[in-house]
Structure 1
Amino acid sequence: MVRMSSQEELSSDSSSGLVGAAALLLTLGGVLLWLVMLSGPVKLGTGLLEASSHLDDAQQTLSEGRFRPAVYQTFAAKAGAAKAREGFDSNSPLMDLVTLVPQVNDAMGELDHVLAGASHATEAASGTLEIGLSALRGPDRIIGPDPDGDGSIILLDRIEELGGVVAEVRRDINAAGDEFAAIDLARLPKRVHEDIRDGIEQARETDEVLADAEAGFELLPGILGGNGPRTYMLGFQNSAELRGSGGAMLQFEFLTIDNGKAELAEETGSIYKLDRKRQTIDIPLPDDAWYVAGIEDAQRFGNSNWSPDWPLSARLAVDYGRASAERCVTRGDNACPEFPHLDGVLAIDPVVVRNLLPGIGPYAQGAFFIKRSTVVDTLLNKAYARFPLPFERRGYLGRFVSKFFEKMFDPERPTELVQAMGRSLGNKNMQINMADPAEQAFVERMKWDGSIARADSGDYFQVVEQNVGGNKLDYFAAQVNRMNISIDGRDARHSTSIEVGNNVVLPQPRWFLGDSKAAHRPMLNLYVPPDAELISADAGELCPGPLDRRCNGRIDAPPGLATWTGGTPPEHSEGGKKVWSGTLQIPPDETGSFDAEYLAPNAVVEREGRNVYRLMVQRQAKFHPERLLVQLKLPAGASDIQAPGFKKDGRRLTVDRRLMSDTVLEVSWRS
């Protein structure tokens, strides 16, 4: 289902991008209109103008999710392009007359490419519109009633048909780009050259999007059980109690899809159906499983996702789950769920629920009415007050998750559901790991895998929090990453401060506050390039024991993993990165910080005569997205500075943003 939605995103966000690229290509004809409007046939000039204008309008309406107005605009654009071609091919005396002027004749000779590109661009827009209109709505939509019973089914034949439409759209986009690439710029005024080059680049970028779509449509039938039943595990993470991959995993479901029909297993739900009495289990661990190896309570099914590398955390969850199922003993009505062969593991957090509800529609669930504006508060906070007994709360959350997934596969507004899934994947609130190598390669290509980025060069930064206080205070916590970076030759010197505020509102239910009560205890882990050199670090004074919850400072918890030696934090390697760790204790209404000064060697490279500094910043999917403040100081003598996304003040560049997704900041200059 997730893969289906990501490909169908062509009907919304991606579709508007395709039409936008087509519109940009087409408007290149407009730079020549001063010729044809003065002396060419009226059909040629007005046709190009109409086609360009209507495609612009189609792009706007599609980006807003309004398909009906886009129908008129797209067909009007096609009519305009046809009118322009008819005018150009006419035997008008005016056309003969205009060619007597050498400069104008040269430009008119290139109009044939413009018109051919216009025709292909409008055909591409028509194909895009067909996907948007019929994929998720109308009688030919890919989700339809199950002919063998209740509920809905994904129509695999229709998916294959739409894959063919995507291939046609891609051919038209390529053909449009080829036509504009064939234009002889020497025959045109210099002022139009940049526009034409931009149009060709837009066609190339659109082709990359369509290449992803084609690859996805080829894999989609198999993922949806077209070649036999598929089974996936859905892990529901609680981002109020952060773990590396997003949150403590409290609920799980097994989803089977057979020839497009999705069913949830009845015996799943709370992770404590397998984690009986939180008993740990001994299994072989990979080298990068540093957190799990060092924390005994992490050595079980529902608490093994401490690594921010989702492929690793997913693998550990499966291994622990299977080992726990083999050890499980049924007692009375407390049956042991079977742990099947899995074709994939998906991580989902409450923000995904909020994102998807406009497509699913509001509904009643026990004591609460589930709607977008309140669902996250219900799941992460209010449920602890409404159901103070753990078994009652787990039962309610289990029923909630099961009903939510059922409704997700039979949505009221599929288009909005698809758009929201795309956002959830891009923001890492939803992460995917597949067993099939080809399918996993596609997930990685789309950057849906939630992995630690493997960067061969440049700089890297990620802060991963592990909540070690046994509480849910990440629901209230706020994090700010302050990075002061100075370029020194080929190196980058960092002075970084990670600030966490404990904004808890008291009183709170007992099970919400947990072991540390109102004191927040975040273990902060700073991921940097593997050759980074630590200069100094500070996380406040060590809180004395026995631990006073009023102390604002550093604590050595978990023992060993966060124990400092002589003012130096512990260090380990994971995912090709170096990691420094420190745990803070922060009383209510106070802020704590973990500061580090370090050197990132060889972070600056030379490319085509320019110095290039590239910083990859990865995001942990927190309920409150962390704030990123970057101040970059370039060396003296830096000139011709290019810094997209930065505010510039001489050699000093700044970025201030909410970190909603993984991002790359790149600056280049000449010495």
Structure 2
Amino acid sequence: MLVALVAYTVVTAVRLWVAYDEMVEARGRLLSVEASLRQEGLDASPATLAEAESQALSAQVTFRSARGMLDSEPLLRVAGWAPLLGSQISAARAIAGIGYEGSEISLDGIAALRTLNAMTAEEDGTLGEKLGLFVEAIEPQMEAVEHRLAAIRLRREGIDTRWILPPLSNFVEQLDARLVRVEESVDRYRHGRAVVNHVLGFDQRTSYLMLGLDNTELLPGGGLIGIYGVITFEDGRIVERSFSEVDELYYGWQARSGGEYVEPPGPLKRYLLRDWTWNFAVSNWSPDFPISARQALSFYDRAGADPVDGVIAVDFAGLEGLLAVLGSVEVEGYGVTVDSQNVTEEILARIGKPLRAEDGKHAFARAVAAETVENTLVADQDKWVALAEMLDRLTEEKHLLLYVNDHEVQDSVRELGWAGQVRVEPGDYVMAVEASLNSSKLNLVVERELDLQIELDEAGTAHHQLILRYRNGLDDWAPSHDVQLVRDIMLDGLYGGYLRLLVPPQAELLEVAVDGRPVGAEEIIQEAGKASFGRYLPLPSGSQAALMFTYSVPAAANVSRATHEYRLLVQKQPGIRAAPLDVAITLPPGAGVESVSLDGQVLPDAPLKIAMTSSADRELVVRYEL
């Protein structure tokens, strides 16, 4: 009897292993599909799509076969009643069903990419028009994906992970990670569709206030507003566009209001505006772009301008990125060709030097902006994919920002990561915010580095020392440029930087020092849901300085479970260019690190000293045991 029972168990285990082995093979094919499509992205070739389709169909057949074996094999059906073995068989059936649905999702994705390929091959229609048609055309596939994801989630919830053993448990862990990514992709599509339809005027005709941000004269919300425009969209096309001088808006407001005065924020008044009113050009004092956008709209409305549906802002880095894809642009009337390498300095060189006196001091910048906006929407088909990828990168790096008056659409903008808002999330937080308050373009040459050292104690308090190292590189830049240009845009070479450090609201400031000398904070306030510590830092040409903030954040780490977790979000200020960022974390005595991840990716060897760049928001998660 015992021998028969052992034989029965062995045979059942072998059949279960055969089914598992088939599923591993099928999973490998789906991973191959994912890798090939991820590598080529939206620009996947017909050959790549054909190979991916073949692999997905093969995986589908294999998962169907494994599921059939698990459902129909008599020994496995009987073994399903055994407590531990039954849990393995039940989990294997669920995984086979999940694999089959995953194969279908892969096929739906391939069909969507084929639709994109077909549309880019058609010659009629602009990028904006085709974008709207594309999101409509792939709606059936996306609905099918959502239904399949719901089926997968239901099967996954039926797997009791307490009783399944390796290798099935490893399979489920990997499934969970990939399922989250697929669900996030579908959510991004839904939010993207809402934003495209609204902003590009597919729902109804829309008009947007466009801000040209000069991030060589940095402000917290991206840069000095040098020019502005109004762009009207209908069915994916620009039907009206105009760009104007900011001075015209200012003087129109002052004439209309009889000289209205709006009190500026304290540092802006002390170091730049003095007796002048707060105004449109410097309205973006908040590093939270939705707040800055609403403030710009407030000054815009004061001038009696026509209502708009939201705000689009782009800085010089955004302009450079677009021209890197679009190619050079010949600026009509000026005999000048600008490209991604020279556009910033060509615009700066022509501020205050119009062809005609009546054109205004930013006439050249307005001409470049108008040409670039137009060329973006009517770009050739072979540039569409690269353009879409560049726009996504520029929004991630906060060189292109969007604010929509409609609250539901703005929620989608935020979910896509295009809003540039100060994020409120559990854990620790830091954002270094910079403002140039000496009316010069020195952010073109000022270099900076960030060094953040964090020591965690047993209670979960994080003790911080953040050092911001600055160097005014004008002495290196000036010799290769026209003497008068240097004088015009760099003045006397003194960089007047006002620095704010945004940290969790419960943070306690201990010290502010410059080059090791305590100087204290000029301002300690709460803004955008954070504590804010402010300090002015003058930096003459060729000099360097280190500004250090020492502070502590209680309850920065979650120590309520056996595995403690420390989360740190380092947010990038809108408009500022990437800088080196070094983070070093010291755990409490006796603690052992379990894992370290950066931006959702687990880092090999779990390092506690990490060198990166502040090109975008960075999120660090450290799990440790104590």
Give the structure 1 partner of residue 548 of structure 2: 595
Deviation of 1:517 after TM superposition, in Å, equals: 2.0
Question: Counterparts of 2:554 and 2:317 in 1: how far apart (Å)?
Answer: 37
Determine what percentage of the aligned residue pairs are the same residue: 17
Deviation of 1:439 after TM superposition, in Å, equals: 1.1
Question: Counterparts of 1:384 and 1:416 in 2: how far apart (Å)?
Answer: 27
Q: How does 1:116-195 map to 2 (within 5 A)?
A: 116-135=97-116, 137-139=117-119, 144-145=124-125, 153-154=129-130, 156=132, 158-179=134-155, 182=158, 190-195=166-171
1:487 aligns with 2:456: yes
Q: In structure 2, what residue type is equivalent to 1:394?
A: H
Q: 1:65 aligns with which of 22, 43, 62?
A: 43
**Structure 1: unaligned runs, 5 residues or longer:** 1-33, 327-338, 542-552, 554-563
- For the structure 1 residues 86 and 368, does the alpha-carbon distance in structure 2 shift closer, same or farther, using more than 3 Å as the test? same
Q: How does 1:491-530 map to 2 (within 5 A)?
A: 491-504=461-474, 505-507=477-479, 508-509=481-482, 510=484, 512-513=486-487, 514=489, 516-530=491-505
Deviation of 1:195 after TM superposition, in Å, equals: 2.4
1:399 aligns with 2:367: yes
Q: How does 1:32-47 map to 2 (within 5 A)?
A: none
1:605 aligns with 2:580: no
Give the structure 2 partner of residue 463 of structure 1: 432
For residue 537 of structure 1, give the secondary structure of its aligned residue in structure 2: strand
Give the structure 2 partner of residue 259 of structure 1: 235
Output the TM-score relative to the length of structure 2.
0.81
Q: How does 1:56-455 map to 2 (within 5 A)?
A: 56=34, 58-63=36-41, 65-84=43-62, 112-135=93-116, 137-139=117-119, 144-145=124-125, 153-154=129-130, 156=132, 158-179=134-155, 182=158, 190-218=166-194, 220-266=196-242, 268-276=243-251, 295-296=273-274, 297=276, 299-324=278-303, 326=304, 339-365=305-331, 366-372=334-340, 374=341, 378-385=342-349, 387=350, 389-392=352-355, 394-412=362-380, 413-455=383-425
Deviation of 1:245 after TM superposition, in Å, equals: 1.1
1:654 aligns with 2:594: no
Give the structure 1 partner of residue 358 of structure 2: none
Deviation of 1:307 after TM superposition, in Å, equals: 1.7
For residue 578 of structure 1, give the secondary structure of its aligned residue in structure 2: strand
Question: Counterparts of 1:164 and 1:613 in 2: how far apart (Å)?
Answer: 41
Question: Counterparts of 1:285 and 1:605 in 2: how far apart (Å)?
Answer: 43
**Structure 2: unaligned runs, 5 residues or longer:** 1-12, 356-360
Deviation of 1:193 after TM superposition, in Å, equals: 1.2
Q: Residue by residue, what CA displacement relative to the aligned partner does 1:544-602 show, whole Å, maximum 9, x if unpaired?
A: xxxxxxxxx9xxxxxxxxxx9x7543323321222222222223332112222222233
Q: In structure 2, what residue type is equivalent to 1:131?
A: A
- For the structure 1 residues 353 and 638, does the alpha-carbon distance in structure 2 shift closer, same or farther, using more than 3 Å as the test? same
For residue 305 of structure 1, give the secondary structure of its aligned residue in structure 2: coil
For residue 454 of structure 1, give the secondary structure of its aligned residue in structure 2: coil
Question: Counterparts of 1:120 and 1:443 in 2: how far apart (Å)?
Answer: 30
Q: Residue by residue, what CA displacement relative to the aligned partner does 1:639-662 show, whole Å, maximum 9, x if unpaired?
A: 344332498999x92222111111
What's the RMSD between the two structures over aligned residues?
4.0
Question: Counterparts of 1:113 and 1:122 in 2: how far apart (Å)?
Answer: 14
Deviation of 1:403 after TM superposition, in Å, equals: 0.5
Deviation of 1:101 after TM superposition, in Å, equals: 10
Question: Counterparts of 1:36 and 1:435 in 2: how far apart (Å)?
Answer: 60
- For the structure 1 residues 471 and 284, does the alpha-carbon distance in structure 2 shift closer, same or farther, using more than 3 Å as the test? closer
- For the structure 1 residues 285 and 154, does the alpha-carbon distance in structure 2 shift closer, same or farther, using more than 3 Å as the test? farther
Q: 8 Å contact 1:47–1:82 — kept in the other structure?
A: no
Question: Counterparts of 2:424 and 2:160 in 1: how far apart (Å)?
Answer: 41
- For the structure 1 residues 132 and 273, does the alpha-carbon distance in structure 2 shift closer, same or farther, using more than 3 Å as the test? farther
Give the structure 2 partner of residue 25 of structure 1: none
Q: Relative to structure 2, which stretch is displaced further, 175-184 or 654-663?
A: 175-184
Question: Counterparts of 2:68 and 2:438 in 1: how far apart (Å)?
Answer: 79
Q: 8 Å contact 2:309–2:406 — kept in the other structure?
A: yes
Deviation of 1:270 after TM superposition, in Å, equals: 3.0
Q: Relative to structure 2, which stretch is displaced further, 469-478 or 68-77?
A: 68-77
Question: Counterparts of 1:193 and 1:89 in 2: how far apart (Å)?
Answer: 18
Output the TM-score relative to the length of structure 1.
0.76
Deviation of 1:299 after TM superposition, in Å, equals: 1.6
For residue 637 of structure 1, give the secondary structure of its aligned residue in structure 2: coil
Q: 8 Å contact 1:475–1:624 — kept in the other structure?
A: no
Q: Residue by residue, what CA displacement relative to the aligned partner does 1:276-330 show, whole Å, maximum 9, x if unpaired?
A: 49979866869x9555566455622222112211112111211212323x4xxxx
Deviation of 1:617 after TM superposition, in Å, equals: 1.4
Number of residue-to-residue matches in the alignment: 587
Give the structure 2 partner of residue 574 of structure 1: 527
Q: How does 1:610-649 map to 2 (within 5 A)?
A: 610-622=563-575, 624-645=577-598
- For the structure 1 residues 313 and 141, does the alpha-carbon distance in structure 2 shift closer, same or farther, using more than 3 Å as the test? farther
Question: Counterparts of 1:526 and 1:48 in 2: how far apart (Å)?
Answer: 50
For residue 153 of structure 1, give the secondary structure of its aligned residue in structure 2: helix
- For the structure 1 residues 159 and 607, does the alpha-carbon distance in structure 2 shift closer, same or farther, using more than 3 Å as the test? same
Q: 8 Å contact 1:361–1:411 — kept in the other structure?
A: no
Q: 8 Å contact 2:430–2:569 — kept in the other structure?
A: yes
Question: Counterparts of 2:115 and 2:277 in 1: how far apart (Å)?
Answer: 47
Q: Residue by residue, what CA displacement relative to the aligned partner does 1:141-163 show, whole Å, maximum 9, x if unpaired?
A: 899527xxxx9735746533323
Q: 8 Å contact 2:261–2:277 — kept in the other structure?
A: no
Deviation of 1:431 after TM superposition, in Å, equals: 1.4
Question: Counterparts of 1:53 and 1:77 in 2: how far apart (Å)?
Answer: 10
Question: Counterparts of 1:85 and 1:567 in 2: how far apart (Å)?
Answer: 65
- For the structure 1 residues 264 and 632, does the alpha-carbon distance in structure 2 shift closer, same or farther, using more than 3 Å as the test? same
Give the structure 2 partner of residue 19 of structure 1: none
Question: Counterparts of 2:171 and 2:20 in 1: how far apart (Å)?
Answer: 24
Give the structure 2 partner of residue 477 of structure 1: 446
- For the structure 1 residues 597 and 180, does the alpha-carbon distance in structure 2 shift closer, same or farther, using more than 3 Å as the test? closer
Deviation of 1:133 after TM superposition, in Å, equals: 3.0
- For the structure 1 residues 49 and 593, does the alpha-carbon distance in structure 2 shift closer, same or farther, using more than 3 Å as the test? closer
